[in-house]
């Protein structure tokens, strides 16, 4: 593999809703989704993702599941890997899905007292 290549991932039209939902059915992967939602590329280092309590191989597994489901893309630059959310592809395939999931992961607002 040469610099700046992408790891294998499904083409946009091949992204399957059931596979995406299955991939996002894990709390760690939902945490990764919220991290990637800022639109930036992220290092694969668990410390940069707030997952320092997990072993690096566990985080790598979760990243692979998201990539193979079509949720993320991984760019290879030398020995480094950079992950980003495939927001445009997911929004085109499943309009409103990401926004609904990200809204659902936000903490609930405190209830108003009377």
Q: Which alpha helices (H) appear in 1-114, and where do they start and end?
A: 17-23, 27-36, 56-69, 87-93, 97-105
Cβ neighbours of residue 22 under 8 Å, at least 6 residues apart?
A: 69
pTM listed for this prediction:
0.85
Per-residue pLDDT reduced to its tens digit, 26-42: 999 999 999 999 999 99
Give the tokens for residue 10.
């499904």
Given the structure tokens 């639109």, which residue do they identify? 39
Q: What is the CATH number of domain 5-105?
A: 1.10.10.10
pLDDT value at 101 more than 80: yes
Whole-number CA gyration radius for the chain: 15
Spell out the domain ranges in the chain: 5-105
Q: Which residue has the higher pLDDT, 59 or 13?
A: 13
Distance CA 93, CA 20 (A): 11
């Amino acid at each position: 593999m040469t610099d700046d290549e992408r790891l294998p991932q499904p083409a946009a039209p091949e992204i399957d809703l059931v596979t995406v939902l299955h991939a996002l059915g894990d709390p760690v992967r939902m945490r990764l989704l919220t991290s990637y939602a800022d639109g930036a590329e992220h290092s694969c280092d668990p410390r940069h993702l707030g997952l320092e309590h997990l072993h690096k191989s566990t985080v790598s597994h979760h990243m692979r599941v998201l990539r193979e489901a079509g949720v993320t893309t991984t760019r290879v630059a030398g020995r480094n890997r950079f992950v980003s959310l495939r927001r445009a592809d997911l929004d085109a395939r499943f309009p409103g899905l990401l926004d609904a999931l990200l809204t659902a992961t936000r903490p609930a607002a405190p209830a108003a007292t009377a």
